[in-house]
Amino acid sequence: MDWRARRERFRALIGAQPDSTAPTTAPTAATCVHPASVFDPISARIAEDLGFELGMFAGSTASLTVLGAPDLIVLTLSEFAQQALRINRACTLPLAVDADHGYGNALNVRRTVQELETAGISAMSIEDTELPAVFGHARSQRLLPLHEGVGKIRAAIEAREDPSLVICGRTSAAAITSLDDAIARGKAYQAAGADMLFFVGLKTRAQLDAIASAVQRPIFLGGTSAPELLDRDYLASRGVRISLQGHQAITAGYRAVYDTLRALREGVPPSQLRGLPDAAFMRRVTRDADYERWLDDYLGGAENNA
């Protein structure tokens, strides 16, 4: 399939040209958007129907969807890429993905880019957290040495074949080490060719102001509940083009499944269940009209092909 159009829409959204060798600052008139957290084909179609500009497929939601496991980096690249492809096949929504640490070292990052680019994603982040947890540090997070993080970004840039694919350098340094370290890492990943910079762990406007004044790439802001960082007009003025709100949709869906199954188990008749979608909703999200047309076109009988 040709994924270029959706990748170009993603780049237009963040105001970045497909040339990672030149510093890029998104236009001041640009806006900050919240992506839809999606995890399977129908959730992505729902997001598209609701008018979201892009979808976000995270490692945590992938682990829930594929394995029913917490986000402990036990999912494999192949499993992640396969689910990303299923999502992309089902809609035209540009999809950003959290590729964790690239599933290994810089050589693994190259393979990760190849697989995810083939799966149709529009953007991917590579983070500098030491993953998975190592012995003696199971409950804490540590960062990779800066030179190793830079090597991963360089490997990602060199591995992609479609220059419109966005490579995002991600760091949680603000939460793990210091704001100064986060700025140093952002600048280093920018110099290595990252198209966008993803910062996690910010809590104040002063932190974002310091980062925004130091880097010249569009900013992706990790999920935060800090009241200071919820104003999208302010975020846009500081170069934040995407602000992640979290992944509530998948957990809300699981709760709905639980409540429905529990009600049935307790003897509630199906006709009395609450919160069920109507037939029109299911026809829309399964793209029933397309399949009905294809049935008529391809299987309707000789009289339809005369």
* Average pLDDT of span 200-214: 97
Average pLDDT over residues 266-295: 96
d(CA 293, CA 29): 42
User: What does residue 126 show for φ and ψ, rounded to 5 degrees?
Assistant: -120, 120
pTM: 0.92
Q: Which residues pair with 36 in a beta bridge?
A: 55
- Token reading at 99: 């590729």
Distance CA 192, CA 152 (A): 9
pLDDT at residue number 21: 44
Q: Which amino acid, 253?
A: G
* pLDDT score for 201: 94
**Predicted local confidence at residue 27, as pLDDT:** 41
Q: Which CATH class is domain 4-14+23-252?
A: alpha beta
184 pLDDT higher than 80:
yes
pLDDT surpassing 70 at residue 126: yes
Given a cut of 90, whether residue 154 has pLDDT beyond it is yes
Among residues 35, 24, 186, the alpha carbon closest in space to that of 123 is found at: 35
What average pLDDT does range 173-200 have in this prediction? 97
Tell me how far apart the alpha carbons of residues 151 and 147 are, in angstroms, rounded to a whole number: 6
Question: Is pLDDT of 290 > 60?
Answer: yes
Task: Tell me the average pLDDT across 208-236.
Answer: 94
Q: At what angle do helices 41-49 and 77-89 cross, to 10 degrees?
A: 40
